[in-house]
Amino acid sequence: MSAAPKNDDLDRAACQPHLEALARNKEVLGALISTVDGFEIAAEVRATTSVKKLAAMTSSLLALAEATSQEGEVGNCIDVVIEASEGMVLVMDVPNDSRKLLLTVLCNKAATLGSVLWAARNTRTAIGSDMNR
Amino acid sequence: MTAKDYKLIFTGTMGAGKTTAIASISEIPPVRTDVATSESQLASKTTTTAAFDYGEVSLPQGDILRLYGTPGQTRFSFMWNILSEGALGVIVLVDNSRPDPVQDMRDYVDAFRDVVGRSRAVIGIGRMDSHPDPDIDVYYDAIGQLGLDAPIMSVDVRRRDDVLVMLDVLFNQIEAAEAEAEMDTVGIA
């Protein structure tokens, strides 16, 4: 028997409240859940951010980070952290049983890496748990 | 004489054979950034390149060809710009079994117009054995209408020799273009 078809709308419904909760953090500018091949599932970002483009770039970034980790013989990639002049970007996968999804978190300059990583990891765990139900 | 590095690009639609072409000739295990395709995409392939493929071929005099394969899908077109930086030549792979392969060629030639326009391109048409139409002449007409010129050949990217022929033609073009540029510089033209 083949697996049930994945439903983007159901996944979006599972993800969106968690993204909204994460974005209420004053250090977080926005957050995105996308498929590993670069399609948007759910987003809570500023109107000026191109979600489609960000989803595709996130896919490339994590694919390259995973290839680099393997080439460097340091195991599997867990998170990608970009420190920029005006903030940070975090990219990580969302553990769940159905399909590989990515969580991207955009943070402002005031963000401290430890606190946003902690918040982002909690969010991805919560989303993964909801998707597994 | 100092050995040189040549950065070459393989581009074309998803499924045109970029990853296969690089894997068939690379002397190192190719770097791949394949990811699983989403069901919603109704794609015929189960994986797709998200960042780039990478392989290397060394030439007898010590020069190295560094081969980069682009993602095929247009939503990854930002990678095309990144990868084409510093590229000396491009191989455009076309899948003749697609609905409008000539337009596919136009799209990718246009995306890499800067490199193609400097006479540093080869067009490889795949699956011509099972899908003979459109034939090579149609492609020559189409690229001529774009005001460009490039060798066009039938290719089976699974065959190492086919891919090496394309590389050989491209490399000869690059050498000719560089020699011409050098003559221009010293005023011999």
Separation of alpha carbons B83 and B11, rounded Å: 10
Lowest-confidence region among A68-77, A81-90, B92-101, B112-121: B112-121
Dump pLDDT digits (tens) for B149-166. 899 999 999 999 999 999
For A41-64, write each residue's pLDDT tens digit: 999 999 999 999 999 999 999 999
pLDDT at B40: 53
The sheet with strand A40-44 has its strands ordered as A40-44, A28-35, A101-108, A87-94, A79-84
Domain range for B177 is 5-185
Q: Which helix (H) or strand (E) holds A120?
A: helix A113-132
| Count: domains in chain B | 1
Residues of A in contact with B48 (CB under 8 A): 37
A63 touches chain B (CB under 8 A): yes
pLDDT of residue B43: 58
Q: pLDDT value at position A100?
A: 86
Indicate whether B146 pLDDT > 60: yes
Inter-residue contact A63 to A37 (CB < 8 Å): no
Taking every pair of Cα atoms in chain B, the longest distance, rounded to a whole number of angstroms, is 58
pLDDT band (50, 70, 90) for residue A5: very low
**Chain A residues near residue B38 by CB distance under 8 angstroms:** 6, 35, 37, 39, 99
> What DSSP line would sit under A44-84, residue for residue?
E--TTS-HHHHHHHHHHHHHHHHHHHHHTT--S--EEEEEE
Mean per-residue pLDDT, B27-53: 84
- ipTM for the predicted complex: 0.81
* Mean pLDDT (chain B, rounded): 90
Cα–Cα dist A68/B154, whole Å: 34
Query: Which pair of structure tokens corresponds to residue B181?
Result: 């540029």
- Asked if B33 and A100 come within 8 Å (Cβ–Cβ), the reply is no
Confidence at residue A1, expressed as pLDDT on a 0 to 100 scale: 34
Beta bridge partners of residue A44, listed in sequence order: A31
CATH at B35: 3.40.50.300
Q: Report the pLDDT value the prediction gives residue B17, as an integer from 0 to 100.
A: 94
CA distance B79 to B102: 23
Taking an 8 Å cut-off on Cβ atoms, the answer to whether A64 and B32 are in contact is: no
Is residue B45 pLDDT above 90, yes or no?
Answer: no
Q: Which of A37, A39, A54, A69 should we substitute to test contact with B (largest number of B Cβ atoms within 10 Å)? A: A37
pTM summary value: 0.87
Distance (Å) from the alpha carbon of B43 to chain A's nearest alpha carbon? 12
The tokens describing B165, both together, are: 């022929």
Q: How far apart, in whole angstroms, are the C-alpha atoms of residue B74 and residue B162?
A: 27
- Other beta carbons less than 10 A from residue B176's beta carbon: 12
Digit-coded pLDDT (tens) for A95-124: 888 888 999 999 999 999 999 999 999 999
Q: What local confidence, expressed as pLDDT, does residue B118 receive?
A: 77
Q: What is the pLDDT of residue A4?
A: 35
